[in-house]
Structure 1
Amino acid sequence: MRRPHVDWMTRADDAILEFLLNEGNRQLIATPGVIEVNIGYTLSTVNQRLRKLKSAGLVEYHDEERGMYELTKKGSAYLAGEIKAEDLTLEENLS
């Protein structure tokens, strides 16, 4: 199934989500720095996009104190094209 087009999302968002999915293997848990090194976007971009993705429920903290993120079930469903664009909204303060 095809992924929905969402106006607020960027290519970096897909790269982050795909990295955390780690297709064919166990899903990853990673810090923004580890993600940055592996996807080719700057750390500031990764941090900014993780905040948006978290606001939309696509990623969540695995360990907030250590700044470690993981993909949510909703994030996996987005990557599989199983959810609609209108189901991907941001919290008011981050839109």
Structure 2
Amino acid sequence: MRYAGGWMTAADDRILEYLSENETGSPAKMKREGPIRYSRQQINRRCKRLAEEDLVRHLGNGVYIITDDGEAYLDGRLDTENWTYIDDDSEAVEAQDSSNGEASNGGAT
């Protein structure tokens, strides 16, 4: 499960997925080769925003690469609303505490 910030759009996920699979890409190449159904201009705008948020890095000449934070977001390990990493161990502890007779939230996390 991914934890997208309110500032993110569906295009952002597609861009990050493309860069994760292809290592680098430009908005024109993503539009031409990727499964991204947005205009090159929209992809360009979103790449710039993703770079501002450090999920991608601009290498120059319109080429971008995904960062470690971008990969963490795709893996569901980074909440881009609160900019916090999700610790799988702490979630496991919370689930264990609920099974020890404490009030349960119905299985929702």
Normalising by the residue count of structure 2, what TM-score does the alignment of the two structures yield?
Answer: 0.69
> Any idea what the Cα deviations from partners look like across 1:1-58, whole Å, max 9, x if unmatched?
x111311100000000001111xxxx42111100112222101100110111001100
Structure 2 residue runs without a partner (length 5+): 85-109
Aligned to 1:50: 47
Within 5 Å, which residues of 2 pair with 1:5-84? 5-22=4-21, 27-37=22-32, 38=34, 39-62=36-59, 64=60, 66-84=61-79
Residue in 1 aligned with 2:105? none
Q: Which residue of 1 aligns with 2:87?
A: none
RMSD of the TM alignment (CA)? 1.4
Q: Distance in 1 between matches of 2:83 and 2:56?
A: 14
Structure 1: 4+ residue segments shifted above 6 A? none
Identity, % of aligned pairs?
33
Give the structure with higher Rg (CA).
2
Which runs of 5 or more residues in structure 1 are unaligned? 89-95
Which TM-score applies when normalising by structure 1? 0.78
Q: How many residues end up aligned between the 2 structures?
A: 81
